[in-house]
Structure 1
Amino acid sequence: MTDEDRPDNDDFEELLRGLLGGQGGGLGPEQLEQLRGLGVDPAMMQQVLRQMQSAFASGADGIDWNAARTQALHLANQDGQGIGTGDRQDFGQAFSLATLWLSEATAVSELASAPRAMTRGQWVEATLPVWQELAEPVANSIADALTAAIDSQTPDEMKGAIAGAGRFMRTIGGSLFAAQLGGVIGRLSQEVVSGGDVGIPVMPDGEAAILPQNFADFGRDLEIEPDQLALYLATRELAHARLFRHARWLRLHVISQVTDFARGIHVDMGALEELATRFDPSSPDELKAAIESGALLPQRTDAQTTALERLENLLATIEGWVDIVTADATSRLPTADRIAEAVRRRRAVGGPAEQAMGSLVGLELRPRRLREAAAMWRAVTDAVGVEARDSLWDYPDLMPGPGDIDDPAGLIARLQARGRGEAPPRDAMDDALDALLKSAADDTGDAPGDTDADRPEGPRPV
C-alpha cells in the first residue's frame, strides 16, 4: 500500500469513533473497506467490537471481574442441585460431634460462627474475593502486555488517532483473563469438599463449611461409611478454620506470600507475539489454551523459586498441624487412618481444576513437605503436650521454620527450656545478634553492657 492509498488520521479517528461509539454494533460496507485499507482484518474487529464498545461506555481503567463471577457461578450452578434438609442435618450433627472431639485434641478455641453445609455457588461467592486477589497481578501483567504490544506495533503517525485504544485493549485483555479465571474457579467448585480443601484461607475469616454436592464423589471409591467420612472431614475443616481464627496474623502471612510470588510474574512477550502471528479470530481456542496452560508465562526466576519454597514450607507447616490435630481428635474412628491417607494423596496430586489454577497463575498450592511437617508436629506433641505445641501459633516469630521441619529436636529443646522457665538454647540468630551489638559497641568505643555507672569518675562533657 502506498502513502496515497492509506487513509489519513482524520479518517481513522472517525472510523474508530464510529466503531466504539455504538452505532448498532455492526460494520457497514464503507467501514469494512476502510479497515481493509488500514490492513485490519474485519473479522477480527467484529470479534472484539462488542467488548471494545462496552469498555468505551464504562470508561473503567481497571479489570472488570464480573466476567469471572458470571462464568464461575454458571459452572457451579449448572446441575441445578441444592442441599436437602437431610444433608444439612447430617453435616450439622457431624460438626457438633467434631467440635467436642477437637476440644480434647487442641487448645485452640472454637469458632464464633456455626459451620454449615454450603452449595457450590455459595462457595464461589464466598471465596471469589481471595481468588481475585491472588490472580490480579497476573491479570494486570497480561493486560499490560497487550497494551505494550499495541503501542509498539502502531505507526507513529497513527498513535494520536488511537491514543485511547491501548486502554480499551487493556480492559479487554484483563476481562479475557478474568473469564478464564472464572472458568477455573467454577470447575474447582465441583471438586472441593470443604472450605479449607485447597490449603489456603479462601473462606471468610472464622467460617467453616462442607459441600455436600461434592462429598459423595470424594468417598465413592473409598468403601467407607458416609457418617465416618463426614465426621473426619468435619473435624479437619474445623481444625483448619480454628487455626486461622486463632492466629489472626496467619491469613495475611499466607496471602502476602502468594501475592508476592505472583507479582514477579510477567508475560513472555515473545510467546505473545508469536501467538499473534497465527491467531485466527474465528477460532480463539488457541488463545484460550495459551492462557489456561500458562504458555504465556515465562519460566520462574530464582527469586520466584525461593519465594515458592517459602510458601510450600508455610503451607506444609499449617497442614501438618491440621493433620496431627485431626488424627488425635478422630482416633475413635476405625477408618480414620484410611481417610487421612486418601486426603494426603488427594492434596499431593490435586484435581484437574487445581492443576488448571496452577497453570493460570503460575503457582501450584501444594504442601510438598506435608509428611515431614506432620512428623515434626507429632514429635512436638509427644514431647511437650498440646498446650505448649499450640502456643507456637500465638506470634509469628514463634512459628516453626523449615529448619524445624528438618530437625525438630532444636524446637523441642526450646519449648522444654521455656516450660522450665530457662533461657532458650542459643542458636545462630543469637550469635548474629551478639555480633551486631559488638560491632555497634566497637564503633562507639563502648564495650557491650557498658553503662554510665561503669565509667571512671571525672568531669563529664557538657
Structure 2
Amino acid sequence: MSNGFGFSFPHNGNGDGDGDNFDLGDILNQFGQMLSGMGTSMNNRAEGEAVNFDLAARIARQRIGEQPAASAGDATAVAESLRLADLWIDEATDLPTSPAQPAAWNAGDWLTHTMPMWKRLVNPVAEHMGRAQLESMPEQAREMMGPIAGMMNSMNSMSFGMKLGHALGDLAQQALTGTDFGLPVAPQGTAAILPHNATAISKDLGVASQEVLVFIAAREAARQRLFTHVPWLVERIVSSVEEYAAGLEIDTSHLEEVARSLDLESSDPQQLQEKLNELQGMDLSPRIGTRNSLASSRLETLLALVEGWVDVVVTAALSDRIPSTSQLTEAWARRRATGGSAERAFANIVGIELSAPKVREAAELWRRVDVAVGTTRRDAVWDHPDFLPTAEDIDSPAEFIDSLLDDAPDTSFDEELAKLEEDLRNGDDER
C-alpha cells in the first residue's frame, strides 16, 4: 500500500490487506532507503548547519543557467565607473574613499561570493524556526517524534535548502551590486557590480547604459564607504538577524479556533459542508512571529538609514553631472518599494525583509540634518550606534535635529576672544 512518497506500508502477509500490522521499524527503514536514493549530495550538510546549503547552491545554479562570464571590457567599465563615482562622491560626504577592490560579476559569481554571508544570515533563522515548529506541537506528538528526530532534521534541512536555492537563484538574476538594499552580502573589501543585469535595467528605462552603470557604481561606492569606515555597522546588521531568529515562534491559535468551529460530530451534513466551504478561502498556514520584535524593527531601521544616506549622497554627487539622475533615483525607489518575486519569496522563506519600508523618510531626515548642521556633523552621526536616529526619529525628525543643534559646539566665546586679542594687537601696533 503506497503512501505517495516512494515507499509502502507492509501488510500482514495474508495478501488481502485486512488487519494490516504497521511496523514502525520497517517503515523507517524504507524511508531511510528512499532518502539515500536521492543521492549523497542532497543529504550533504555541514555539521551545525540547519540548511542544506550544498543543495541550495545546486538548485540556484540550475535556475541561473549558463551565463557568459564578465568580460575584460566589463571589468574595465566597472573599475572606471567606480573611480569616477568616488571622485564625485568626495564632494558629498566626509567619509573617505573605501579601499574595496572593483569586481565585475555575473549571476553565478554573485551566488558563489555571497553564499558565506547568506549562511550567516539564514542558518540561525532556519535553526530556530525548526525549534519553533517542534515546540508548537502537542507534547504527545513531540514524544512520538523522538525516534525520528534526526531524520526529520535532515528533511527540514533539505526542504529549506530547496526553497532557499530557488530564492537565491532568482535574486542572483536581479542583483545589481554586492550590497543591494543595504545588505552587505559581498565579501569585505569587494565593490562588485553585475554589468549584465545593469544593461537590462538600462534597456527597460531607455537610459544610456553608461549613465546607469555610473549611477549603480555611485550607490555601491557610497555603501562601501559606510561599511568600511563604520566598523560596527555590518556586525550590527547580522546580529539583528540573529536576535530576530532567536525569538522565532509559530502561532497556531487561529488553527485551533478553526478546529473548534468545526463540529465534526454534527448530524447536519449541510452545516458541515458550509463550514468546509468557508475554510477554502482562509489562510490556514501557521503564522511565524518573533518575541524579539525590536530586533526586526532595528534591522529595518538600519537598512533604511543606510539606503536613505546613500540616496542623499548619490543625488548630491550626480545631479549636476548625469541628466538622468532623478529618473534613475525614482526607478531605484520603485524597485526597492515593490520588490520582485525573488525578494518576496526570500522574505517568506526566512522572514528577512530585504527592503526597508521607510527609506524615503530616512533620506528626508538626512537631508534636513545636512541643512541644519552640515555634512561633517551629519556623517559624524555614524561614529557610534547610539548616535543613530531611531525609528521614531525617522517618522518625526525635528527632535533629533534639535538634539544635534544643542550638541553643536558654541563658538561664540572663542570668536569673541579672538576678536579681543586682535583688537589688542592692533592697539599695540598703533601705539
3-state DSSP class of the match of 1:133? helix
Aligned pair 1:176/2:159, yes or no? Answer: yes
Deviation at 1:146, TM superposition (A): 7.5
The aligned amino acid for 2:80 is Q
- 1:295-349 CA-partner distances (Å, limit 9, x unpaired): 7552435x45444333222221111101000101112111101100000110011
Q: Who is 2:343 aligned against?
A: 354
Larger mean Cα displacement after TM superposition, 123-132 or 34-43 = 34-43
1:308 and 1:116 map into 2 onto residues whose CA distance is 31
The within-5 A match list for 1:180-259 is 180-259=163-242
Unaligned ranges ≥5, structure 2: 1-5, 15-19, 257-282, 412-431
- 1:347-395 CA-partner distances (Å, limit 9, x unpaired): 0111111110010012323221111111111111122221111111111
Q: Who is 1:404 aligned against?
A: 393
The aligned amino acid for 1:361 is V
3-state DSSP class of the match of 1:333? coil
The aligned amino acid for 1:98 is A
Deviation at 1:243, TM superposition (A): 0.5
Determine if contact 1:99/1:238 at 8 Å carries over to the other structure. Answer: yes
Determine if contact 1:206/1:242 at 8 Å carries over to the other structure. Answer: no
Determine if contact 2:111/2:168 at 8 Å carries over to the other structure. Answer: yes
Q: Please, which of 227, 236, 243 is the counterpart of residue 260 of structure 1?
A: 243
Q: Please, which of 42, 45, 53 is the counterpart of residue 65 of structure 1?
A: 53
The aligned amino acid for 1:389 is R
| Distance change in 2, residues 1:298/1:381 (3 Å) | same
Q: Who is 2:310 aligned against?
A: 322
Larger mean Cα displacement after TM superposition, 43-52 or 82-91 = 43-52
Q: Who is 2:70 aligned against?
A: 83
- 1:253-274 CA-partner distances (Å, limit 9, x unpaired): 111112222222245679999x
1:414 and 1:153 map into 2 onto residues whose CA distance is 55
3-state DSSP class of the match of 2:101? coil
1:339 and 1:259 map into 2 onto residues whose CA distance is 34
Determine if contact 1:52/1:169 at 8 Å carries over to the other structure. Answer: no
Deviation at 1:31, TM superposition (A): 11
Determine if contact 1:55/1:171 at 8 Å carries over to the other structure. Answer: no
Determine if contact 1:254/1:311 at 8 Å carries over to the other structure. Answer: yes
Determine if contact 1:111/1:207 at 8 Å carries over to the other structure. Answer: no
3-state DSSP class of the match of 1:136? helix
Q: Who is 1:311 aligned against?
A: 299
Deviation at 1:235, TM superposition (A): 0.3
2:9 and 2:163 map into 1 onto residues whose CA distance is 34
| Distance change in 2, residues 1:54/1:37 (3 Å) | farther
Determine if contact 2:249/2:289 at 8 Å carries over to the other structure. Answer: no
Determine if contact 2:117/2:185 at 8 Å carries over to the other structure. Answer: yes
3-state DSSP class of the match of 1:92? helix
1:67 and 1:56 map into 2 onto residues whose CA distance is 8
1:306 and 1:354 map into 2 onto residues whose CA distance is 22
RMSD in angstroms over aligned alpha carbons?
A: 3.7
1:408 and 1:87 map into 2 onto residues whose CA distance is 42
- 1:263-298 CA-partner distances (Å, limit 9, x unpaired): 22245679999xxxxxxxxxxxxxxxxxxxx97552
2:142 and 2:303 map into 1 onto residues whose CA distance is 46
The aligned amino acid for 1:124 is L
Aligned pair 1:94/2:81, yes or no? Answer: yes
Deviation at 1:236, TM superposition (A): 0.6
Q: Who is 1:452 aligned against?
A: none
The within-5 A match list for 1:122-133 is 122-133=109-120
3-state DSSP class of the match of 1:364? coil
Q: Please, which of 308, 316, 330 is the counterpart of residue 341 of structure 1?
A: 330
Deviation at 1:67, TM superposition (A): 1.5
3-state DSSP class of the match of 2:204? coil
Aligned pairs, how many?
371
TM-score, with length taken from structure 2: 0.75
Q: Who is 1:443 aligned against?
A: none
Q: Who is 2:150 aligned against?
A: 167
2:133 and 2:289 map into 1 onto residues whose CA distance is 21
1:32 and 1:189 map into 2 onto residues whose CA distance is 52
| Distance change in 2, residues 1:45/1:397 (3 Å) | closer
Q: Who is 1:377 aligned against?
A: 366
- 1:13-50 CA-partner distances (Å, limit 9, x unpaired): xxxxxxxxxxxxx9899999799742749986664343
Identity, % of aligned pairs? 33
1:220 and 1:112 map into 2 onto residues whose CA distance is 31
